[in-house]
Amino acid sequence: MLGRLNHVAIAVPDLAAASAVYRQTLGAKVTEPQALPEHGVTVVFIDVGNTKIELLEPLGEGSPIAAFLDKNPSGGMHHVCYEVDDILAARDRLKASGARVLGDGNPKIGAHGKPVLFLHPKDFQGTLVELEQA
């Protein structure tokens, strides 16, 4: 079921400042910011060859990463995203094995225009897991 690591996401308090660190200090190419109101975040991606890094900044009231940044004010690793071939089949299999799917359990369209779901960190070694249909 589990496919490639699509990205590792880092929540940041200031997306412009974080993008500058990746561009200038690390010499990486950073995409233009993309607002995802449905997910309550603005994102950029950094392609590091074998995977991507996603930097996330809160967008709007009640952003799902606001509480995380309250606990980690300088930012921190927020989730890992794995690819799956069939997100509904993956969801049904995970639910049948007792894993909790966040939100209403239905995939939303993510930053790459593909369906995504998030799984409860307490069911996955304390790590928030995103699944993206490849």
> How far is it, in rounded angstroms, from Cα 53 to Cα 101?
23
Tokens 């995203």: give the residue. Answer: 81
The residue within the footprint of Co ion, chosen from 9, 12, 30, 128 (CB under 5 A), is 9
Phi, psi for 11 (deg, rounded to 5) = -80, 135
Compute the least distance from the CB of residue 130 to Co ion, in Å. Answer: 5
Cα-Cα end-to-end distance for the chain? 11
Contact 121, 128 (CB under 8 A): yes
Q: Does 83 bind Co ion (CB under 5 A)?
A: no
Taking CB under 5 A as the binding criterion, the range among 30-38, 73-81, 86-94, 118-126 that sits at the site for Co ion is 73-81
Active-site residue, 83 included: no
Query: In terms of CB distance, is 57 or 130 closer to Co ion?
Result: 130
Q: Does 132 bind Co ion (CB under 5 A)?
A: no
Q: Does 10 bind Co ion (CB under 5 A)?
A: no
Interaction with Co ion in 33-62: which residues (CB under 5 A)?
A: 54
Total binding residues for Co ion by CB under 5 A?
Answer: 4
Query: In terms of CB distance, is 94 or 129 closer to Co ion?
Result: 129
Residue spans of alpha helices (H) in the chain: 15-20, 66-71, 87-96
